[in-house]
Amino acid sequence: MHILLVEDETDLRVLAASGLQRRGFVVDAVATLAAAHDCLEVARFDAAIVDRRLPDGEGLTLLPALARRGVPALVATAYGDVEDRIAGLDAGADDYVVKPYDLDEVAARLRALLRRPGQRHSPVLTHGVLRLETGSGQAWLSDEPLDLGRREFALLRLLLEAMPGVVIRDVVQDRLYTLDEAVSPNALEAIVSRLRKRLAPGGFLIENRRGIGWRMVVGSEP
C-alpha cells in the first residue's frame, strides 16, 4: 500500500514514515504542498495523510487533487482540536488522525479507509487455494501461511487483483517502492522470482510479458 505523507515537522515526518514502513506500507514523505503535487504527478498512491498547516499553504487545498485521483485522505489534526477535525471532514477528508501520530492507530485507519465500500479493494482476495488478507498482510496457499516479504506480498496482491490481466511494470514499481528508492530491473525480477517459487506448489505461474509486465495464471494440472 503506497502512502503519501505530507507533514512539515521533520521529526514527526521521519518517525511516521519509518514507523509506517515497518508496518508494511510504502511511504513517500514530503514537507510541502508543492512537493505533494509533484508526487501525485508521477506515482499512484493508495491513500494520503495530510497535515493542515504547511509552509506553502493549507493542507486541505490538496484534497481536490487527491479526490480526482481517487486517493482517500486522512487529515492530521492537533490533539483535541475538534474544529480542525470538522473542517477537515467538511472539506472532503475521509477520516482524520490526531497528532502526535499513534502509528498503530494510523495504520489501522489507513487499512479501514482501503476496505470501505466503494473502494477498489476488498479485504480478502482469493483464487482457488490462494488466499490473501489485505488487512493483516498475510497470505495462505492451501491453508499453509506463505512466508512473504512486504514487497512480495504487494506484488501478489497486484497480480491477484489483475487476474487474468497483466500488471504493468510501472504500476508494480509505484506500489512497491517509494519515489526516492532507485529500482533496478533486476530488483523487480528478483521479487518476481521469489514469489514464483512460493506460489509454484499451488500451480500458480507468473508469466513475464517482456517490456510490459507480469500476469498470474493457474498452470495446467501436473
Cell of 64: 481536490
Closer of 87 and 205 to Ca ion (Cβ): 87
Closer of 8 and 58 to Ca ion (Cβ): 8
Candidates 177, 171, 206, 47; CA nearest to 120 is 47
Choose one: 53-61, 91-99, 109-117, 169-177; the region binding Ca ion (CB under 5 A): 53-61
Cell of 165: 490481466
Choose one: 49-57, 113-121, 139-147, 176-184; the region binding Ca ion (CB under 5 A): 49-57
Q: Cβ 8 to Ca ion, closest distance in Å?
A: 5
Closer of 29 and 114 to Ca ion (Cβ): 29
- If one asks whether residue 51 binds Ca ion (CB under 5 A), the answer comes out as yes
**Starting from the edge strand earliest in sequence, which strands make up the sheet with 166-168, in order?**
166-168, 213-218, 204-209
Closer of 27 and 148 to Ca ion (Cβ): 27
Q: Which residue bears the cell 521521519?
A: 14
- If one asks whether residue 53 binds Ca ion (CB under 5 A), the answer comes out as yes
Judged on CB neighbours under 10 Å (0-12, 13-18, 19+), 210 is exposed
Q: Cβ 62 to Ca ion, closest distance in Å?
A: 13
User: What is the C-alpha separation between 70 and 92, in angstroms, rounded?
Assistant: 12
Q: Which residues bind Ca ion (CB under 5 A)?
A: 8, 51, 53
